[in-house]
């Protein structure tokens, strides 16, 4: 049985709107459990409630209703500095007038830990982050990536039960983000520390997480492993937010026990994965761009290349097929690259098709 470290029990948060005329429901009855050693990412668009949820976990916001439980203890009304958690901020939040040593040692010093123990733990934390020898520098003497490592060292040196991340990589350039993402992933796996990470970046969430929680309008839309979320989204919102997708309306016919059949561009398709138990009626077929392949094959449904964009590691096409524009991605650009205006056959990876319920 999994060891539940953190639990949110029917947590909601309301704010007064800026006009003062009513309440805004930022987080709506969220219940979730996070196991010991798990890396969980709250993912969603701006305003979905993910940051408010993180701030309630940290103690910077009080829930309007519900409970927050850490290791079986209700900490809903416990002060942030008493929660055995550490938060890595988006803007690093380093003290500019302090040395790197003093920044990292600050949390330990407030706990009145003996100086020799502070020195030992700060040294070990800086060494773990590759910052040995930089103890006497100040934050403005470091690069953005080094400052982020200092922020991580400061969070880890207190040995918290939960490590919280509030979009920590959003201020870094693209190449450095990938590097820091890899370092956070390796560090979390090595330390096995329970982590809650907030981001709107789908790639970050996919690369780092054991579990992804997709939030929308204050509610949990879906929770699952990255592959599960990507391959088997439960709604069009999730499918459209995590990665890219083509959506094609169709009508489903039942042909047996949970077996379904539908038409896709003149082809009959039988029994693909589906978000809900299969039933007759209107539905939507989700097709990921990489599940489409362009071929010189007149036996396939024929489309026309509207755009062809060579991106180095892949070629991205927009093709028209029976009045529908579809995005297709070829991850093998060493093969033939089709030209704009060219007629092509379009093949579908049947196993990658996914049926979603029609939405109003």
C-alpha span between 41 and 214 (Å, rounded):
8
* Mean predicted confidence (pLDDT) in 4-32: 89
pLDDT band at 2 (very low <50, low <70, confident <90, very high): low
pLDDT of 1 > 80? The answer is no
SS3 179: helix
Architecture of domain 244-357: Beta Barrel (2.40)
C-alpha span between 211 and 195 (Å, rounded):
11
pLDDT band at 21 (very low <50, low <70, confident <90, very high): low
- With CA atoms as reference, report the closest residue to 266 among 326, 329, 327, 321: 321
Q: Which residue has the tokens 């003062």?
A: 20
- Taking only the tens place, the pLDDT of each residue in 53-89 is 999 999 999 999 999 999 999 999 999 989 999 999 8
C-alpha span between 183 and 106 (Å, rounded):
23
Burial class of residue 195 in the structure, from the number of CB atoms within 10 Å of its CB (0-12 exposed, 13-18 middle, 19+ buried): buried
- Taking only the tens place, the pLDDT of each residue in 185-222 is 998 999 899 999 999 999 999 999 999 999 999 999 99
pLDDT of 360 > 60? The answer is no
C-alpha span between 94 and 90 (Å, rounded):
11
Q: Which residue has the tokens 């995590």?
A: 242
pLDDT of 247 > 90? The answer is yes
Q: Which residue has the tokens 């949390």?
A: 107
- Taking only the tens place, the pLDDT of each residue in 112-161 is 888 999 999 999 999 988 889 999 999 999 988 889 889 889 998 888 99
Give pLDDT, residue 312.
Answer: 86
Under a CB-based contact definition with an 8 Å cutoff, are residues 204 and 195 in contact? no
Give pLDDT, residue 20.
Answer: 67
Q: Which fold has domain 4-236?
A: Rossmann fold (3.40.50)
Under a CB-based contact definition with an 8 Å cutoff, are residues 60 and 34 in contact? no
Question: Which residues contact residue 11 at a Cβ distance below 8 angstroms, ignoring those fewer than 6 apart?
Answer: 27, 29, 30, 31, 53, 56, 63, 65, 66, 67, 68
Higher pLDDT, 298 or 257: 298
Under a CB-based contact definition with an 8 Å cutoff, are residues 34 and 204 in contact? no
DSSP 304-326: EEEEEEE-SS-EEEEEEETTEEE
Give pLDDT, residue 336.
Answer: 81
Give pLDDT, residue 171.
Answer: 81
Question: What's the whole-number average pLDDT of the chain?
Answer: 91
- With CA atoms as reference, report the closest residue to 61 among 44, 74, 46, 80: 80
In the chain, where the domains are located: 4-236, 244-357
Give pLDDT, residue 280.
Answer: 87
pTM over 0.75: yes
């Amino acid at each position: 049985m999994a060891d539940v470290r953190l639990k949110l029990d029917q947590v909601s948060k309301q704010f007064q709107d800026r006009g003062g005329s009513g309440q805004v429901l930022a987080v709506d009855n969220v219940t979730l459990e996070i196991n010991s050693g798990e890396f969980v990412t709250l993912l969603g668009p701006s305003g979905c409630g993910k940051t408010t949820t993180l701030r309630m976990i940290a103690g910077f916001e009080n829930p309007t209703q519900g409970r927050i439980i850490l290791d079986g203890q209700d900490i809903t009304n416990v002060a942030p500095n008493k929660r055995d958690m550490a938060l890595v901020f988006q803007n690093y939040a380093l003290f500019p007038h302090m040395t790197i040593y003093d920044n990292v040692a600050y949390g330990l010093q407030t706990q009145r830990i003996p100086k020799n123990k502070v020195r030992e733990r700060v040294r070990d934390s800086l060494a773990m982050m590759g910052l040995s020898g930089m103890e006497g520098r100040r934050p403005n003497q470091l690069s953005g990536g080094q400052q982020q490592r200092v922020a991580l060292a400061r969070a880890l040196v207190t040995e918290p039960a939960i490590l919280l991340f509030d979009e920590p990589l959003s201020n870094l350039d693209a190449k450095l983000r990938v590097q820091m993402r890899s370092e956070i992933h390796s560090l979390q796996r090595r330390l096995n520390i329970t982590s809650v990470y907030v981001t709107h970046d789908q790639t970050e969430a996919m690369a780092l997480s054991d579990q992804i929680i997709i939030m929308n309008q204050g509610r949990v839309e879906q929770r699952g492993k990255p592959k599960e979320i990507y391959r088997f989204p439960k709604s069009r919102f999730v499918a459209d937010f995590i990665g890219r997708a083509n959506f094609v309306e169709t009508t489903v016919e039942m042909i047996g026990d949970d077996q379904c059949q539908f038409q896709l561009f003149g082809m009959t398709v039988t029994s693909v994965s589906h978000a809900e138990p299969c039933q007759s009626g209107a539905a939507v077929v989700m097709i990921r761009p990489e599940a489409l392949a362009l071929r010189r094959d007149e036996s396939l449904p024929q489309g026309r290349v509207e755009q062809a964009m060579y991106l180095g590691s892949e070629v991205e096409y927009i093709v028209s097929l029976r009045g529908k524009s579809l995005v297709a991605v070829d991850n093998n650009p060493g093969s033939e690259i089709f030209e704009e205006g060219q007629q092509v056959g379009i093949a579908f990876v049947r196993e990658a098709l996914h049926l979603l319920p029609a939405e109003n």
